Structure 1
Amino acid sequence: MTIKEETLREINDFILKEDNPLVNGLLKIIEKYGGVDEINRKAREARKLENLMARLRAKNSPFVKDLEWLIEQRDKDAFISIPDYRKKILGEKADSMKFDESFAVTLEISACNFFPWLIEEAKKVIAQQDLMPSRFIRVRFMKEQVEDDEILAFAAAMQIIGASYVETLDTKGTMPGPDGLPINVHLGGPETITGYFGGVGVPNEYALKWVDEFLHYYTKYGIRQVLNVNLGSVMLGYWLYKLGIDIEFKISVFLGNDNPYACFWTLMTAKLFSRDDGTSPLIGFNLSNSVNNETIELSAYIRKAFDFDDIIRIEHHIVETCKSIVRQPYDRLNELLEIAGHVKNISAKHEGGLPEIEATREHPSDILEYFIAKKDILAQGLMSKLTINYLDKHDSVNRTA
């Protein structure tokens, strides 16, 4: 089973070939943005909170007032602290209990597609003394949120509250091609349902277009973490980081890592293309909804062997949207509680409300609605209903907490 050094040498030789079109295509895009150092410099500047706020003020954005309110609430300690939250839940005995922070579970919510939802959530958190999620996933058209400046507002808000967040690039299988149809021929709704087994990612030259789009938003808006749904763009993400660009990504549930051997493949590749300091751009590893605790434990076993415990977060859905992705009821909280005490660096992802709450909603959550344009959401009168769906997800976060 030993991999020969000669075999590894052949792989390295292939990557380093001067006429390698795979690598050269990537290098050409990097040079387009000024090279590694310039790319990172632009991203650092774009990401600074004062620069984000200045850009919003220059546009007379209504979001400035919301962000200033958020800063005010943070600075006056309006948000409940972890010790006080523990006391709220556990009572006075919390003072005498010991908590092992090395097994802290990240509270993750998806998808926070509109900035006003975040503000509504913050108001609810303060009023009810809930916990805010510490990780937010967004699945909204990038160009659309540039137009209404939410891309700037959300980036600023994440720094204000100290949370991490992930954006989803427009270059994905559902992206319209020259003919107006999705660039991935498998994506045609129920009529091509078996084609989905062939993958939902970015085919052909669109893998490099994904890189181009990533570097655009990285340098212009400082966006560091994006969702990754394709094996090719995962590889390109590894290469970007190996070359020195400080991007990160989260592997999506759609990539289908549903057994320990698939997870080994993913983590092995991360190890092969890690930097000399041992770090990897793979910051979040969302396993398939179909995994059980044994697969999570074995994935953690692989992760530990590669010294990635503190680098790669294993992410798993606790609840999912009511419609269009899993059979319901889907509720994995009890399984999380079984492993949270011995598997480190887990993120509990909340994509839906509690199944019993969703069942009472006039408009239950539906993952397909992530792909509706804002103008159509407003035209159909859906925004208030989607806001309720999002706040239901917040409630599921706090049940887990």
Structure 2
Amino acid sequence: MSNRQKLKIDENRLREINNFLLSDDNPLVTNLLDLIEKYGGVNEINRKAREARKLDNLLAKLDTKNSPYIKDLQWLQEQRNNDAFITIPDYQQKILGDKAKSTKFDDSFAVTLEISACQYFPWLIAEAEQSIEKGELMPGRFIRVRKMAEQTADNDVIAFAAGMQITGSSYVETLDTKGTYPGPDGAPVNVHLGGPATITGY
């Protein structure tokens, strides 16, 4: 049997970590806290984030930029409001037929249908169209891997965020710090690929 005590963190190690984080002589933490305060503190930053990701505000931003994605988002809203997407019970009935009524489904084993990666907003609309046409489940999670400069230039990042608000899906935006892009020699620019910088980027 495994020795659970091996999982215990030595109190001296925890004290060292706390001393490092709380030290006034730590420029790393001090600069980070100064940066947070520069933008109003944690609560204000989170408030602005919640406000910015409201659907009405996202659509308004796209409208001011004359985005061609507005019509697609309006269509997506209509499909959601009209219950055009297949429900879980209806999908179970479609796959299992009469057996669906007598089958007990254990939600503790539920999985999330994920698309990785969905680089461009039009792909989301194509997925929605196919889901409706073929009676397929709409994915509940999307992973995005695209350069930030590109998707902010064409407002794709705003449109996708709005689409996620409409469908109720969760999503991940991959930051450029992950370092998977090839350098001049063809190798990833992040020589520590798989390390902290990569995890932070994701």
The TM-score by the shorter chain falls in which range?
A: 0.7 to 0.9
Two-structure CA RMSD over aligned residues (Å):
2.4
2-side partners of 1:230 and 1:45: how far apart? 33
Deviation at 1:233, TM superposition (A): 7.0
**1:53-72 alignment runs, 5 A limit:** 53-72=59-78
Given candidates 107, 118, 123, the residue that maps to 2:124 is 118
The answer to whether the aligner puts 1:51 opposite 2:60 as a matched pair is no
Structure 2 Cα separation of the partners of residues 232 and 145 of structure 1: 21
Rounded to whole Å, the distance in 2 between the matches of 1:171 and 1:156 is 24
**Rounded Cα–Cα distance in structure 1 between residues aligned with 2:104 and 2:71:** 40
SS of 1:165's partner is strand
Q: CA deviation at 1:232?
A: 5.0
| Paired position in structure 2 for 1:211 | none
Q: Deviations over 1:80-119 (max 9, x none)?
A: 0000000100001101111111220111111111111111
Deviations 1:292-348 (A, max 9, x none): xxxxxxxxxxxxxxxxxxxxxxxxxxxxxxxxxxxxxxxxxxxxxxxxxxxxxxxxx
- What is the aligned partner in structure 1 of residue 3 from structure 2? none
Q: Which residue number corresponds to residue 196 of structure 2?
A: 231
Helix, strand or coil at the partner of 1:71: helix
Larger radius of gyration: 2
Aligned length: 196
Instruction: Give the superposition deviation at 1:56.
Output: 1.2
Structure 1 unaligned spans of 5+? 176-180, 201-228, 238-248, 251-401
Structure 1 runs, 4 residues or longer, greater than 4 Å off: none
Unaligned 5+ residue runs, structure 2?
1-5
Does the 8 Å contact 2:177/2:197 carry over to 1? no
In the alignment, structure 1 residue 86 sits paired with structure 2 residue 83: no
Q: 2:34 aligns with which of 18, 21, 28?
A: 28
Relative to the length of structure 2, the TM-score reads: 0.87
Instruction: Identify the match of residue 185 of structure 2 among 185, 188, 201.
Output: 188
- Percent of pairs with identical residues: 62
Structure 1 residues 143 and 133: alpha-carbon distance in aligned structure 2, compared to 1, 3 A threshold: same
Counterpart check, 1:145 vs 2:151: yes
TM-score by length of 1: 0.46
Is the alpha carbon distance of 1:109 and 1:33 closer, same or farther for their aligned partners in structure 2, counting shifts above 3 Å? Answer: same
Whether 1:133 aligns to 2:130 is no
**Do the aligned residues in 1 keep the contact of 2:179 with 2:198 (CA within 8 Å)?**
no
Q: Deviations over 1:218-252 (max 9, x none)?
A: xxxxxxxxxxx641575xx6xxxxxxxxxxx85xx
